[in-house]
């Protein structure tokens, strides 16, 4: 009798897991279609061409050594190009295709659709970076592919979350993109030249300053990654919170 009751308990649990897996599959398929629609392919092509252009240009420089620090620098901009369109223009695409009204009909829409969309975007960008890093490994010099790509995801995830948050506030992809670009340029010129500032968005973890001890550098990098992680979470939560005001989008 007890064994029979256990089977009754396990079966609904298995059904919930199967239903959840099917739902996640459908959400991922839908989000992949949205992500790769319209202009994302152009940003992907631009990121690849930028990657090839940087490598080709520097190959003629006798003083250039393609180590992990150099790979981090040129892969960072390729990653920013990849995250830029789906994060900044996702809401705009929903508005243009009039999908926003349908999506608001889904319970907890902002979590089931947009949170999953961000996860899918981050995963796709990371996979692309792994491919680029593998090409660097095979064509140029050995680089730590996994460590390199995971470190790159800190600033890339923050920029993506910032673009997503701004798109929910401004409700316009071009406006969100313009503010993100201005923010990036301002940050680059104000903090980008200070390699020991933990607030520096473009801090290169593989480029240890010569006049700094390794222990201090580890602390700087820890706080830098901590600040970026907190900023990413806050931006995503703010964007998801703004999505509950359906009157502003319809």
Q: Is residue 16 in some structural domain?
A: no
Q: Which is higher by pLDDT, 96 or 166?
A: 166
Q: Is residue 227 in some structural domain?
A: yes
Q: Is residue 8 in some structural domain?
A: no
Range of the domain at 33: 29-248
Q: Is residue 39 in some structural domain?
A: yes
Count structural domains, the chain: 1
Q: Is residue 153 in some structural domain?
A: yes
Task: Place 2 in a pLDDT band, splitting at 50, 70 and 90.
Answer: very low
Q: Are 114 and 168 in contact (CB under 8 A)?
A: no
Q: Is residue 6 in some structural domain?
A: no
- For the segment 173-191, what is each residue's pLDDT rounded down to a tens digit? 778 878 888 888 888 777 6
Q: Is residue 127 in some structural domain?
A: yes
What predicted TM-score, i.e. pTM, was given to this entire model?
A: 0.79
């Amino acid at each position: 009798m007890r064994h029979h009751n256990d089977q009754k308990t396990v079966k609904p649990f298995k059904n919930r897991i199967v239903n959840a897996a099917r739902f996640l599959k459908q959400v991922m398929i839908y989000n992949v279609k949205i992500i790769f629609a319209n202009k994302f392919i152009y940003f992907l092509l631009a990121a690849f061409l930028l990657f090839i252009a940087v490598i080709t240009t520097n190959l003629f420089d006798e003083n250039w050594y393609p180590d992990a620090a150099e790979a981090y620098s040129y892969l960072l901009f390729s990653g920013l190009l990849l995250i830029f369109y789906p994060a900044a223009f996702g809401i705009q695409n929903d508005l243009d295709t009039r999908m926003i009204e349908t999506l608001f009909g889904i319970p907890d829409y902002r979590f089931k659709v947009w949170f999953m969309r961000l996860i899918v975007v981050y995963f796709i960008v990371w996979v692309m970076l792994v491919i680029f890093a593998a090409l660097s490994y095979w064509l140029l010099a050995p680089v730590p592919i996994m460590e390199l790509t995971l470190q790159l995801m800190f600033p890339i995830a923050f920029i993506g979350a910032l673009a997503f948050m701004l798109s929910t506030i401004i409700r316009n992809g071009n406006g969100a993109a313009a503010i993100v670009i201005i923010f990036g340029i301002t940050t680059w010129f104000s903090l980008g030249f200070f390699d020991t500032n933990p607030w520096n968005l473009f801090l290169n973890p593989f480029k240890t300053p010569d006049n700094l001890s390794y222990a201090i550098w580890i602390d700087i990098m820890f706080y830098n990654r901590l600040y970026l992680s907190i900023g990413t979470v806050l931006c995503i939560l703010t964007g998801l919170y703004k999505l509950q005001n359906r009157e502003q989008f319809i």
